[in-house]
Structure formats: C-alpha cells, structure tokens
Amino acid sequence: MKKPYLKKVGVFNGYNVWYVNGYYIRNNLDKEFTNFGSNRYFHFIPKHELWIDYENGKKEARFFIDNFLMIQKELKNGHSYNDAVNIANRHEGAERSKSKHIIKLKKIKNKEKLVKKVHMKRIFSKYTKNIKIWIVRGDLVRSLFYIDFTEGGHDKVYHFVPKHEIWIDDEVYKKEIPYVLIHELHERFLMGEGWEYDSGGVGVFSRKPKKGTKSAHFEAEKLEAFCREHPKQVKTLLIKAIKNNDKQAENDLK
C-alpha cells in the first residue's frame, strides 16, 4: 500500500489525511476514486484515513477536509449519511463563498461573462463544429456553481454548462483527460438519445444502476473502464464519440 501515498497532510480530529496518487488508484484499485475518499466507499483505504488526490487537491484540500470532518460530526449527532452530506456540502459552499475572488465573481450577473472566467482552453476543436470541449477551472466551477463537480460534465446534466458544451476539470491528470472525456461524450450522447442520466441509482454514491434500467452514467462508466484497460483503442473510440455528439448537435440545430 505504499505506492498510493505521496505526502501526509496532517492529523485532523484523529484522522490521518494523505495526499495520494489518484492516477495510480484509478488504474489499479478503483476507477471511481476522484477528488478524495475514505473507507466508507473505498475499502482499501484504512479506517481513520482521508485520501486526497494530490493533483486535484492542491488548491482545495482544506475544503475537502472540512467537508469530510463535518460529515463525521453530523453522523455522530445522529443524522443519516445523506443528511450529513447535505449539511457538509452547505457548509463547504459557505466557506468557499468567503473568498474575495469568489465574492467578486458572483457579482457578475451576465452568465456568458461568468462562464468566460471559468473557460481556460478549447481542445479537440479540429474534430467538431457544433460541440465545444473546454478545459475549465474546476475550483471555480465548484465554488461558483456546484461543489460536487468532479472530473467533467456537460450541458445535459449541468444547467450551468452552456448548450453543446463539455467541460473537463483542469485538475484532471493530463494522461486521464481522454478517459474522462470519452465518458462525458458517451454519457451525453446516450442522454441525447433519450437515456436517463442515472436511472435508479441508489444513495449518495451509487455504484450501479437499478436492475433492468438504462443509465447513461453507468454505461459511460463501462466504456471508460474498457478504455483504461485498452489504451490503444482510446483514440479511435474518442474521435468516434466526438463525431457522434457533433452529428447529434447538428440535428438539434436543424
């Protein structure tokens, strides 16, 4: 278990907090691991430890730690896990809103101007005319729009993402961008074909869809997992997914 550990952040309320190699974890232990995690959902993490992806947590570790500790506090107070998560998320949102930079940005009432503050760089533009794929400031997305934004998202799931746009968090490891993007593209395409995002997933952290239902999210998870196991096929599948979305968007515009 030494390989995932990179650096100890400290001890907080009896919990050892570590920066870990998220890329290694997703490829060798569990592809579902994102910004941070604990033993509740990732049984390979020792009890009384919180793991934070180093790449995704350098700017926001204090928020992740506060969120985690708030959940533990509310659980001890007798709240259900779902309620504890909701309380912790509201607390995290309030803490993020105290930043002078965020206060200034929230004064921007024009959505297009605000989105421009989040956009960083367009990618794969030569393969698409109707779909825009952006690398975005993930920390700003979490502070301005939705604190649970992780890795990526698109207009068919998030109301704050402009129509025909797909966003990839700038804190995603460069090597993992194709995997995250192919997930978002496939999920978006299926939703455009009438699939639900998560048809029957249960709980705060769903590991599988309800039996007998179609879930665009979980179908995209399967494709992402396949790509991680077969990296030589990623480019072909990625370009195909981009073109499928582009054609679908073209039909939408007619």
- Which range, of 105-109, 136-140, 250-254, averages the lowest pLDDT? 250-254
Across 220-235, average pLDDT: 94
Higher pLDDT, residue 20 or 207: 20
Categorize the per-residue pLDDT at 202 as very low, low, confident or very high, splitting at 50, 70 and 90: very low
* pLDDT for res 204: 46
Q: How many helices (H) and strands (E) in the chain?
A: 10, 8
pLDDT in tens, 139-193: 999 999 999 999 999 999 999 999 999 999 999 999 999 999 999 999 999 999 9
Map out the domains of the chain as residue ranges. 5-96, 110-253
* pLDDT for res 104: 96
How far is Cα of residue 143 from the mean position of the Cα atoms in its chain? 14
- In sequence order, the 6+-apart residues with CB closer than 8 A to the CB of 132 are 122, 125, 162, 164, 165, 166
Average predicted confidence (pLDDT) for the chain: 91
What would the two tokens of residue 249 be?
């968007």
Q: Which residue has the tokens 């009890």?
A: 47
* pLDDT for res 140: 96
* pLDDT exceeds cutoff 60 at 205: no
* pLDDT for res 32: 87
9 close to 52: Cβ distance less than 8 angstroms? yes
- Which range, of 94-103, 150-159, 190-199, averages the lowest pLDDT? 190-199
* pLDDT for res 209: 61
User: What is the pTM for the complete model shown?
Assistant: 0.90
With H, G, I as helix, E, B as strand and everything else as coil, classify residue 118: helix
As a residue count, the chain comes to 254
Integer Cα distance of 6 and 65 in angstroms: 17
